[in-house]
Chain A
Amino acid sequence: MSDQTHMHAEHDLAPGDEEQHSVGVRILGYVVGLALALLLTATSFFIAGTDLVWQPSIPVALIVLAIAQMGVHLVFFLHITTGPDNTNNVLALAFGLLVVFLVVGGTVWIMAHLNANMPPMDQIMRMQ
């Protein structure tokens, strides 16, 4: 299928295809990614156990750190960029996020209502 490679739309690369840099540059990218990921992980563990910060802010901080962690993975390991050669990957990511959001969000919403309307038997007994 080698003669089909030239048929790929020009501004469109698969993850991993885009690497035209030398090995050194690539390794550097992964090392930076790893360092950032470790830093974020360590910070999360630290924040979770510390009493140096205002306590109610901890869950928020953890959420922020988790999102940053995902960002680091996407950029350094999955090579998602905003460049024009990345449209497919970004769209795929967006579609995936949308579906996850719809399914998880919908599920939480539906299950909460179901639980409110149809509590388990023992709970009904207790309410009486």
Chain B
Amino acid sequence: MPAVPTVEATMLGKLDWSAIPFDQPIPLVAGAVVLVAILGVLIWVVVKGHLPYLWHEWITSVDHKRIGVMYILLASVMLLRGGSDAIMMRIQQAVAYQSQGYLPPEHYNQIFSAHGTIMIFFVAMPFVIGLMNLVVPLQLGVRDVAFPTLNSVGFWLTATGALLVNLSLVIGEFARTGWLAFPPLSELSYSPGVGVDYYAWSLQISGVGTLVAGINLVTTVLKLRTKGMNYLRMPMFCWTTLASNLLIVAAFPILTATLAMLLLDRYLGFHFFTNEAGGNVMMFMNLIWAWGHPEVYILVLPAFGIFSEVVSTFSGKALFGYRSMVLATMAICVISFMVWLHHFFTMGAGPDVNAIFGIASMIIAIPTGVKIYNWLFTMYGGRIRFATPMLWSVGFMVTFIIGGLTGVLLAVPPADFMLHNSMFLVAHFHNVIIGGVLFGAFAGFEYWFPKAFGFRLDERWGKAAFWFTFLGFFVTFIPLYVAGMLGMTRRMQHYDVAAWRPWMIVAAFGMAVLTIGVICQILQLVVSIRNREALRDRTGDPWDGRSLEWATSSPPPVFNFAFNPDVRGEDAYWDMKARARQQSLEHDAPEYRDIEMPRNSPTGFVCAFFATIMGFALIWHIWWMVILGGLGAFATFVVFAWRDHDEYVIPAEEVARIDRVNLEERRSLVSMAGAI
């Protein structure tokens, strides 16, 4: 009997009931739980009448602070998802000795691919971009970012990517190719399912969001600085933001182009990276790492900036070697584009090429070392307060040095031939990414939380979270170094070597300790919200900070500063803030003026809504829906481009009213300080 195409087959592309994994309880139950949780929250929001508030104050907000907070929220939720994957993998490797464990191979492969993808693109990236959004305009002393609405579009497109990845849990499957989807495995002939398409389209869509965020932040730092804030007076975090976003602008198009070629292979029968017809797999390897290595510095540079701020604040001293720090940052920015081959030393480039790239990789450790010494010298002779942000920073220095050293080891080609794709490599990059990026994100979270929400976080739970995470990290990842040196390769669903077993069990135990750390972090948030009145930050300067974000109230008003601060001193932060404070305190009745701020706009949300539809339709080959989504997104753009009222005015009296409250608090603080 000839197969008659049914209506569904034409209307819904590849989508049918077999896409729902009824036979696999783990993803189904996990998906169901998440779905129920989301529905529960939605119903609660609607019933309680919070929907208008959410819509007006958050979803359509173009306020950089709100967008920053939403980025961080997205990252935190995704951290829980990626963390669950990690727990599952650690348990699997602890039990799968001479047995299949509890996760079948095709499921295990999806988990490690999703884990890597989520952790890099939907945890680390949004977390640092969120912090940059939240803080950088405040540090520069300005009222907003360069492109407020575009900023919101960027956030919502990132959220779309995250949504699509998580959708793959219940509808269809995710890639089984690892977080970089190397061909030929990711080509149609070896991965015929929708997994790789979920991967590629989520990254294409969120990649646009990231690029937009990058352009916005570069422009903000270059073009919007308050009076007198010249480049060499900018706080270190602004410098690392600039460097990191320059890298985004330069590197993300490479990722987009590479994935676009992979998609052409998969959708239109091109042969860029196939085995046959003149395709070249190594070109993918080359291009993806030309993006991939800058990417790791995109993540870690902002973290370096956060540590610079935290270390100098909590040591009560100006940052040691500010100019060398700037130079080191920009050096890393350039050198990070000269080392990408170290990710495929073993794939046949030959001795000369390997030697050059190996040496370049080692050279990048020099500016990094400069930074470490600068932080140490900043602490030296300072009166150090070991508050939670400072603990994360000191913990980072210890952890990151180890990770950097193993990186330099891997950059020696002969050593890399032994260690490439072993558990040693896995330990290396977790060592730098957890110890560098995640610790940095947590330090920034603890440090700037009072600024964002107006109350401090509970120190006891914060310290507990730090110690559990710090110790848990070493118990989890030091065994992986050992297992790597015993020859264990990465991504093993099961194994038969007895010598590896104990290390996998220790690592699983370490994962449990890490989990306690995460739970402490959640409890910290809960406890702090409940005690918020006691923890209230009235002055806007809870840590005795050194840069301009502490010169306004917590949380800052929409317009950030009633007066754009005037930065005059050569002697950067401390002086700058003292001066800024004085200025606003000096005159008793300053002359307030009307302030114009950009209007809220649903453009970002609506665009992302259509992008989600389009992405989903592309994954499932539902062509009419692709067109619908594309048209919708385009129409949204046109409507936005044609609107004529894009700003609203906050009257001077309102500005005065808001500002006076904070001024009073600050006055009492200054007079107290004067009395001492």
B225 and A9 form a contact (CB under 8 A): yes
Pick the 5 closest A-B CB pairs, nearest first.
A118-B348, A117-B348, A99-B250, A102-B337, A113-B349
Residues 51-92 of chain A, each 1 if its beta carbon lies under 8 Å from chain B, else 0? 000000000000000000000000000000000000010000
Q: Is B486 an interface position by the 8 A CB rule?
A: no
Number of interface residues, chain B, beta carbon within 8 A: 37
Query: How far apart are the CA atoms of A96 and B477 in the complex, in Å?
Result: 38
Q: Is B558 an interface position by the 8 A CB rule?
A: no
Query: How far apart are the CA atoms of A116 and B349 in the complex, in Å?
Result: 9
Chain A, interface SS category: helix
Taking CB atoms, residues of chain A closer than 8 Å to B250 are 95-96, 99
In the complex, which residues 336-367 of chain B have their Cβ closer than 8 Å to any Cβ of chain A?
337-338, 340-341, 347-350, 352-353
Residues 374-405 of chain B, each 1 if its beta carbon lies under 8 Å from chain A, else 0? 00000000000000000000000000000000
Chain B, interface SS category: mixed
Most interface-central of A98, A106, A116 (chain B CB within 10 A): A106
Residues 126-161 of chain B, each 1 if its beta carbon lies under 8 Å from chain A, else 0? 000000000000000011100000000000000000
Q: Is A45 an interface position by the 8 A CB rule?
A: no
* Contacts A1-B647, A14-B223; A7 near B349 (Cβ below 8 A): no
Taking CB atoms, residues of chain A closer than 8 Å to B144 are 1, 4
B348 and A106 form a contact (CB under 8 A): no
**A111-B282, A118-B347 provided; 19 other pairs, C-beta below 8 A?**
A4-B224, A7-B225, A7-B227, A9-B225, A12-B222, A12-B223, A88-B222, A88-B223, A98-B337, A99-B250, A103-B254, A107-B286, A107-B287, A109-B353, A111-B283, A113-B350, A113-B352, A114-B348, A117-B348
A4 and B353 form a contact (CB under 8 A): no
* Contacts A12-B223, A99-B250; A114 near B349 (Cβ below 8 A): yes
Query: How far apart are the CA atoms of A14 and B598 in the complex, in Å?
Result: 20
In the complex, which residues 429-452 of chain B have their Cβ closer than 8 Å to any Cβ of chain A?
none
A1 and B143 form a contact (CB under 8 A): yes
| Closest A residue, CB atoms, query B597 | A1
Residues 1-40 of chain A, each 1 if its beta carbon lies under 8 Å from chain B, else 0? 1111001110010100000000000000000000000000
Taking CB atoms, residues of chain A closer than 8 Å to B283 are 111
Taking CB atoms, residues of chain B closer than 8 Å to A98 are 334, 337
Taking CB atoms, residues of chain A closer than 8 Å to B280 are 111
Query: How far apart are the CA atoms of A73 and B50 in the complex, in Å?
Result: 53
Q: Is B512 an interface position by the 8 A CB rule?
A: no
Smallest distance from the beta carbon of B286 to chain A beta carbons, Å? Answer: 6
